[in-house]
Amino acid sequence: MTTYTALPIPPATLAELRRTDDAGRPCVPFAAGEETAGSPLRCCLRGARAGERIALVSYAPLRRWAAETGARPGAYDEQGPVFVHAEGCAGPAARPDSYPFDRSGALRTLRRYDAGGRIVGGRLLEIPQEPGEGFDKALAEAFAEPDVVLVHVRAVEYGCFQFEVRRPVA
């Protein structure tokens, strides 16, 4: 069981991205093939299966979080490619037993943000043999800093946004 909650892209945001992405481009669905099977879907936090209708869209997670909270991330605002189901899906499991995309040995960066949307630190994580323990420790370290309200988990190889974790409500 995970200690922190990995958040997918919210359903309302997905509906927007399936029309026009955060770079202003229309969504172009396609069937996942051999080269895209296993690609991380940010709508349901699992790998794509061959034959599923998916889309690669541009997503600006910090910009959208800032719009919700009134933060002003300035130059820290960025957008990048993410895979999503081309049509609505059930989303992630209600309470997953593991963190998404937690392949042992994979490299992740946990980028920390303050309430203003500024980067206030980060940490490299090589996912250990016990991925849940590794993520729990890295996230506990992040949220031990009182200014950290949001953590974005990204793949190191491509810089891709994987999921976000918000400071737990006490």
Q: What does the pLDDT read at residue 165? A: 97
Res 101: pLDDT: 93
Inside any domain, residue 117:
yes
Whole-angstrom CA distances from 86 to 17, 22, 90, 120 are 9, 15, 12, 34
- Residue-level pLDDT at 1: 62
Beta bridge partners of 122: 111
Q: Give the Cα separation of 107 and 57 in Å (integer).
A: 23
Is residue 18 one of the residues assigned to a domain? yes
Mean pLDDT, residues 58-74 taken together: 95
Answer yes or no: do 79 and 115 share one domain: no
15 and 79 in a single domain? The answer is yes
My answer on whether 27 and 58 are in the same domain is: yes
Q: Over 80: is that where the pLDDT of 155 sits? A: yes
| Counted domains in the chain | 2
Task: Judge contact between 108 and 154, C-beta under 8 A.
Answer: yes
Return the pLDDT at 169.
Answer: 81
CB 164 within 8 A of CB 9: no
Q: What is the pLDDT of residues 100-147, one digit of tens each?
A: 999 999 999 999 999 999 999 999 999 999 999 999 999 999 999 999
Q: Provide the whole-model pTM.
A: 0.93
Whether residue 102 is contained in a domain is answered as no
Instruction: Identify which has the larger pLDDT, 34 or 170.
Output: 34
Domain residues for the domain of 113 are: 107-166
Is 129 found in the same domain as 80? no
Q: What is the pLDDT of residues 73-110, one digit of tens each?
A: 999 999 999 999 999 999 997 766 789 999 999 999 99
